[in-house]
Amino acid sequence: MPRVLITPVQFSDPDAAYFRSLPEAGMELVFPKDQRYTGDPAALARELAGIDAAIASTEPYTAEVLGASNLRVVARTGVGYDSIDVPAATANKTLVTITPGAVDVSVAETTLALIFAVYRDVVARDREARSGVWKRQAMPRLAGKTLGIVGLGRIGKTVARLAKGVHLQVIAHDPFADETAATEASVQLMDVDDLLRAADIVSLHTPCTPETANFIRQETLAMMKADAVLINTGRGGLVNEDDLYRAMCDGHLLGAALDVFHQEPTPTDNPLLSLPNVVAAPHTAGLDHQSQIDMPRIAAECVARLYRGDWPEGCVINASLRDTWTWDR
């Protein structure tokens, strides 16, 4: 009987309905013996002994971990997969799947919440009121500002739709975007440099790849308006944190809101956390009650379908294996 390891601690209920498809397909659910595997490849490799598929979070599926395993599928709960060495997975004949659509609304809502948090200075005002400080300081009006979305995929499009509802102008950069769909959504596509110069708010919704790593750095920060706002609910690797810190210390940018960091959990001595105009969150943009149901359900369905020989269209990252992959090695 194939064994499926469920690594995300928030999905540790063996009786949860979202895993029903796995035992129905004749598969056994397995949960980690030691939760300390999270950031340790060696510990993760030990958990994967005798495992055929994994319902995964952000733990490191390195080339070494994948090469030492017998994994047929790594099913990521969410849409980011930068913690998985996809070329190594492909070489190992291990499919990598994601859960498209499960987190779109949650991330989009969080993005808008973070924008408001910066523009209305929500966190500082809460702290001031609790401490008896009554500054009543005015902040810029958000309505009419220009939101620049980097990455107009499912999440980026959902952000654009919500942003229109609060009277933001929306521009976007995505070399793979559907121009017709963008036009129908009243989103203007433009070159990335032009977007950085025009946007009052830059929101990142692109995967972290060798091409996009450190997208926000000294050179791109210099293109942004002095009173612009940076929002990152994508991946920590998209932002050079040292460059962002220096730019903000120099008074460049009205503020930043970061749901993701290079190291997670980010150290409490991360200099960015010392800045009053930085809003931080613990990588929770994609989490709400509904996504907590949809992510493991879709991930489990991907594994069950692949075991039955049914390809989960739109969910497989290394789809180049489609014609040659089989469950049995």
Out of 173, 283, 297, 305, which one is annotated catalytic? 283
The pLDDT of residue 38: 65
Q: Is 235 a catalytic residue?
A: yes
The pLDDT of residue 178: 86
Out of 235, 241, 297, 301, which one is annotated catalytic? 235
Using a cut of 0.85, tell me whether the model's pTM lies above it: yes
Q: Which residues of the chain have pLDDT under 50?
A: none
The pLDDT of residue 37: 62
Q: Which two tokens stand for residue 261?
A: 């960091």
Q: Is 283 a catalytic residue?
A: yes
Out of 64, 109, 128, 264, which one is annotated catalytic? 264
Q: Is 24 a catalytic residue?
A: no
Domains identified in the chain and CATH numbers: 3-102+288-321 (3.40.50.720), 105-280 (3.40.50.720)
The pLDDT of residue 168: 98
The pLDDT of residue 184: 82
